[in-house]
Structure 1
Amino acid sequence: MTIRLGLQVSNFSYGTGVAELFPTVIAQAKEAEAAGFDSVFVMDHFYQLPGLGAPDEPMLEAYTALGALATATESVQLGTLVTGNTYRNPALLAKAVTTLDVVSQGRAVLGLGTGWFEFEHESLGYEFGTFTDRFDKLGEALRIIVPMLAGERPTFEGRYYRVREAMAEPRFRGHLPLLIGGSGEKKTIPLAAEHFDHLNISAGFDQLPHKLKVVRECCEKIGRDPATLETSTLVLALIDENVTDSAVPDELKQQVVFGSPEQVVDQIKTKVLDAGVDGVILSPATNLTGYRPGDTTAVAQLLKPLLEV
């Protein structure tokens, strides 16, 4: 598993009717694949997030959409950034992602997180609880999901979940890559070091060097080579040469790159790659611009040489 240049589709508000919505998603994924992106991600949400749109704006269920994208693409890895553990029984999630791996011929990535969008939980009837509750649920879920992905048949009875000789067949691979999103230094990063192949660091640009230091320390503490835990960060991108610094709200300046493709890539290099992060997952602001073919290709052509290892 290598994620150096990913695309996140975070918004389905393209200014089109519903009939044109998924063809537009396919067009984005195909452009990313042709441009050399190694992965395509969708969010695992049922309502649009604050800051990106209103709750009733278009939002597709993640694994249904990924299954369809698997038949429309050939080489990009496919996954969520990231699956909210609270939304699915862990054995069902293991079945869903192994099915995606079969459908995509070995291109699935399982992204996992605790779940955080309280309004969505309350509206749809999912138990939210405290962060500690959600993190403990994730810990139990991993004791079911990880062995199932490896072809084992776990029996487990915990506070939140229980299974008896749970199976996920068929499987395409013996190891399906695991990605976790977050940046918590007491729980998330140590969990990433213990169980995961990839950590998507959700932190402001100015925090990245410190978070990477914590990653190294957590890996070394358990005897893991830090180089074996890949890292990336999600970057919101306003790919428009007319956008200036004054157009970006202060609360987003630590997450957003903007301007022409050349300016976007220069900012990614300075703010992300020079900090030591292995890769970047680009989330173009299609909610503001619509889907404009060619934008991500232009960025990829300039960015790919900086990501070669």
Structure 2
Amino acid sequence: MPSFSHAASARELFPSVIAQARAAEAAGFDAAFVMDHFYQLPTIGAPDEPMLEAYTALGALATATERIQLSTLVTGNTYRNPAMLAKTVTTLDVISGGRAVLGIGAGWFGLEHTGYGYEFGTFTDRFERLEEALGIIVPMLHGEHPTVDGKWYHTQEALNEPRIRDDLPIMLGGGGEKKTFALAARYADHINMICNASELPRKIEALHARCEEIGRDPKTLETSYLGYMIIDEDGDRARKLHAEMLAKQAEQDMSGLSTPALRQGQTDRHFVGDPDDIAEQIQRRVLDQGVHGLIVNMVTNGHQPGILELAGQTLSPLVHRD
């Protein structure tokens, strides 16, 4: 659920989020995600469009749903002390009855770091921090009490109770073939690949190489792909929505946050059309490349009645095969 701009007012916003999560659950989706951002992203809208704090929203969704897993896509490591993040996601797991997934990444959106006063640092800094954070978070999720005196973080026998399981899954998000994939091979249960669909064969090969370097069977690391999906029973209507979305992104050039090159790359991540079109595109461009599953960003019409149900009917037969 990448956008909160569809409600008529702030008071009506969260009921619409609950409705989407419940519709996704009823439609057979495995998980519901919110972004861990404070400003809207440049490929979706203007920075001042509505954005909810992720873990507060997920805690509320835990009480409004029954089966669906709940996660961020993905938590920005730079925004939270890692021990506190372990406590936060574990609390979400307790509240939801074991449905939390820790989605995490290094962080990348400089504008909101500046706006909120978080240290952004260099690309290398952020990945050093992520690796050090995982060295704290993973033991805490397993019930251990890590003491760490690191470059970035410090803990002393950090406790994390209550917990209802020791195998809360960790999902890394990103497309970096060296740093991100190496961290996923070492620490993660799942990697969500954020890249152009045409890059997937190379990404899968690189991920397998990172696993083999540490002696991990690549089959033990679940994979998914993040794509923008615009589906409608009327394929022409879906393509019209797609054109409108691209036009909105072009307007964002005025802010300097979106560029023609960025938008051109983004279209390689788009899946547009009627259910038959979508099924063919997902199968050929994603699943046939060796990816296990799909996370769909339905920014244009996912909030509209019946669309999530249509998406579930279209996607479930593709990814839920014996």
Matched-pair contact (CA < 8 Å) for 1:237–1:283: yes
Give the number of the structure whose residues are more often helix, by fraction: 2
Q: Structure 2: any 5+ residue segments left out of the alignment?
A: 247-262
Superposed CA deviations along residues 25-59 of structure 1, whole A, max 9, x for unmatched, are 01110011011101011100011010211111110
**For residues 191 and 161 of structure 1, what CA distance do their matches in structure 2 show?**
18
* SS, match of residue 179 in structure 1: strand
- CA distance in 1 between counterparts of 2:20 and 2:275 reads 17
**Residue of 133, 155, 168 corresponding to 1:163:** 155
Shift in alpha-carbon separation, 1:75–1:277, aligned structure 2, 3 A: same
Q: How much is the aligned-residue C-alpha RMSD, in angstroms?
A: 1.4
Moved over 2 A (4+): 243-252
* SS state at 2:289 partner: coil
CA drift of 1:235 comes to: 0.9
Distance in structure 1 (CA, Å) of the matches to 2:220 and 2:302: 37
Distance between the aligned counterparts of 2:7 and 2:92, measured in 1? Answer: 29
Match of 1:10 among 2, 18, 21: 2
SS at match of 1:181: strand
TM-score, length basis structure 1 = 0.94
Asked whether the equivalents of residues 302 and 308 of structure 2 are also in contact (C-alpha less than 8 Å), the reply is no
Is the Cα contact below 8 Å between 2:21 and 2:65 reproduced in 1?
yes
Alpha-carbon deviation of 1:304? 1.1
1:1-309 aligned at under 5 Å gives the runs: 9-240=1-232, 241=235, 242-244=237-239, 247=243, 250-286=264-300, 289=301, 291-307=303-319, 308-309=321-322
Q: In structure 2, how many angstroms separate the alpha carbons of the residues matched to 1:274 and 1:207?
A: 13
For the residues of structure 2 that align with 1:290 and 1:146, how far apart are their CA atoms? 34
Aligned match of 2:249: none
- How many angstroms does 1:190 deviate by? 1.1
| AA of the residue aligned to 1:102 | V
- Percent identical pairs in the alignment equals 58
For the 8 Å contact 1:262–1:299, the answer to whether it is kept is no
Q: Secondary structure, in 3 states, of the residue corresponding to 2:171?
A: strand
Secondary structure (helix, strand or coil) at the match of 1:65 reads helix
Higher RCO (C-alpha under 8 Å, 6+ residues apart): 1
Write the distance in 2 (CA, Å) between the matches of 1:250 and 1:118.
Answer: 22
Which amino acid in the other structure matches residue 31 of structure 2? S
Question: Any idea what the Cα deviations from partners look like across 1:205-255, whole Å, max 9, x if unmatched?
Answer: 100011001111111221111111000011111224223398256342211
Q: Is the 8 A contact 2:278 2:314 kept in 1?
A: no
Q: How far off is 1:290 after superposition?
A: 6.9
Q: 1:251, 1:279 → 2: CA distance?
A: 21
Which shifted more, 113-122 or 256-265? 256-265
Classify the secondary structure of the residue corresponding to 2:101: strand
8 A contact 2:178–2:210 mirrored in 1:
no
Matched letter for residue 162 of structure 1: H
Q: Verify the 8 A CA contact 2:200 2:286 in the aligned structure 1.
A: yes
Residue pair 1:15, 1:290 contacting (<8 A) in 2 also? no
TM-score by length of 2: 0.90
Distance 2:148 2:302 in 1: 46
| Residue pair 1:45, 1:61 contacting (<8 A) in 2 also | yes
Whole-Å separation in 1 of the counterparts to 2:142 and 2:266: 40
